[in-house]
Structure 1
Amino acid sequence: MSIKSIAARLFASQVVKKTKAWSSNSVATQNKVFQELIRQAKNTQFGKDHHFEQIQTPSDFAQQVPVRDYEQLKPYVDRVVKGEENVLWKGKPLYFAKTSGTTSGAKYIPLTKESMPYHIEAARNAILHYIHETGKADFVDGKMIFLQGSPILEEKNGINLGRLSGIVAHFVPKYLQKNRMPSWETNCIEDWETKVNAIVEETFNENMSVISGIPSWVQMYFEKLQQKANKPVGDIFPNFNLFIYGGVNYEPYRAKFENLIGRKVDSIELFPASEGFFAYQDSQKEKGMLLLLNSGIFYEFIKSEEFSAENPRRYTIGEVELGVNYVLILSTNAGLWGYNIGDTVQFTSLAPYRVVVSGRIKHYISAFGEHVIGKEVESALQEAMEGTSIRVNEFTVAPQINPTEGLPYHEWLIEFENAPDNLAVFALQIDDAMRKQNVYYDDLIVGNVLRPLVITNVSKNGFQDYMKSIGKLGGQNKIPRLSNDRKIADALNPK
Structure 2
Amino acid sequence: MGVKALLSKPLAAYVFKKHQRWIDNPVEAQQAVLQKIIHKAQNTLFGRDHDFSNIKTHADFVKAVPVRDYEGLSNYFNKVKDGEKDILWPGKPLYLAKTSGTTSGAKYIPITKDSIPNHINGARDALLAYVQDTGKASFLNGKMIFLSGSPELEQVGGINTGRLSGIANHHVPGYLRTNQLPTYHTNCLEDWETKLDEIIEETIDQDMTLISGIPPWVQMYFDKLMRQTGKQIKDIFPNFNLFVYGGVNYEPYRKKLFESIGKQVDSIELFPASEGFFAFQNKQNDPGLLLLLDTGIFYEFIPVSEYFNENPTRLTIGEVEVGLNYALVISSNAGLWAYSIGDTVKFTSVKPYKIVVSGRIKHYISAFGEHVIGEEVEKAMKATMARFPEVELTEFTVAPFVSQDKGASYHEWLVEFAKPPHNATAFAEELDRQMQQLNSYYNDLITGNILQKLKLTSLARGSFRNYMKSEGKLGGQNKVPRLSNDRKLADGLLSITNS
Matches for 1:459-474 after TM superposition, within 5 Å: 459-474=460-475
1:425 positional shift: 0.6
Matches for 1:9-48 after TM superposition, within 5 Å: 9-48=9-48
| Cross-structure match for 2:170 | 170
| Cross-structure match for 1:282 | 282
| Cross-structure match for 2:419 | 418
Q: Secondary structure at the match of 2:128?
A: helix
1:264 positional shift: 1.4
Aligned length: 495
Distance 1:490 1:157 in 2: 38
1:404 positional shift: 8.0
Distance 1:103 1:364 in 2: 14
Q: Secondary structure at the match of 2:73?
A: helix
Change (3 A) 1:105 1:399: closer
1:451 positional shift: 2.0
| Cross-structure match for 1:132 | 132
Distance 1:415 1:339 in 2: 35
1:317-362, Cα deviation, whole Å (9 max, x unpaired)? 1111111111111101010101011111111111111111111111
Work out the percentage of aligned pairs sharing the same amino acid.
Answer: 59
Distance 1:178 1:359 in 2: 36
Matches for 1:427-466 after TM superposition, within 5 Å: 427-466=428-467
Structure 1 stretches lacking a partner, 5+ long: none
| Cross-structure match for 1:298 | 298
Query: Which is further off, 28-37 or 401-410?
Result: 401-410
Amino acid at match of 1:275: E
Distance 1:15 1:421 in 2: 50
| Cross-structure match for 1:85 | 85
Distance 2:133 2:103 in 1: 45
| Cross-structure match for 2:235 | 235
| Cross-structure match for 2:403 | 402
| Cross-structure match for 2:493 | 492
1:287 positional shift: 2.9
Distance 1:235 1:99 in 2: 36
Amino acid at match of 1:7: L
Q: Secondary structure at the match of 1:136?
A: coil
| Cross-structure match for 1:113 | 113
Matches for 1:298-317 after TM superposition, within 5 Å: 298-317=298-317
Amino acid at match of 1:478: K
TM-score, length of structure 1 as denominator length: 0.98
Distance 2:19 2:286 in 1: 16
Distance 1:493 1:225 in 2: 29
Distance 1:221 1:472 in 2: 16
Matches for 1:144-223 after TM superposition, within 5 Å: 144-223=144-223
Amino acid at match of 2:114: E
Query: Which is further off, 49-58 or 3-12?
Result: 3-12
Distance 1:144 1:126 in 2: 15
Q: Secondary structure at the match of 1:460?
A: coil
1:103 positional shift: 5.9
The answer (yes or no) to whether the contact 2:412–2:455 under 8 Å persists in 1 is yes
1:389 positional shift: 2.1
1:44-96, Cα deviation, whole Å (9 max, x unpaired)? 11000000011011111010001111111011111111111111000110000
1:237 positional shift: 0.4
Amino acid at match of 1:78: N
1:439 positional shift: 1.3
The answer (yes or no) to whether the contact 2:468–2:474 under 8 Å persists in 1 is yes
Q: Say whether 1:367 aligns with 2:367.
A: yes
Aligned structure 1 segments of 4 or more residues deviating by more than 2 angstroms: 101-105, 403-407
1:490 positional shift: 1.1
Amino acid at match of 2:83: G
Amino acid at match of 1:204: I
Q: Secondary structure at the match of 1:11?
A: helix
Change (3 A) 1:104 1:399: closer
1:232-275, Cα deviation, whole Å (9 max, x unpaired)? 11110010011000000000000010111111111100000000
Matches for 1:373-388 after TM superposition, within 5 Å: 373-386=373-386, 388=389
1:2 positional shift: 2.1
1:392-436, Cα deviation, whole Å (9 max, x unpaired)? 000000111118896321111000000000011111111122122
**RMSD of aligned alpha carbons:** 1.3
TM-score, length of structure 2 as denominator length: 0.97
Distance 1:406 1:62 in 2: 44
Distance 1:56 1:148 in 2: 41
Q: Say whether 1:476 aligns with 2:484.
A: no
Distance 1:51 1:181 in 2: 48
Distance 2:406 2:188 in 1: 50
The answer (yes or no) to whether the contact 2:50–2:64 under 8 Å persists in 1 is yes
Q: Secondary structure at the match of 1:493?
A: helix
Q: Secondary structure at the match of 1:347?
A: strand
| Cross-structure match for 2:56 | 56
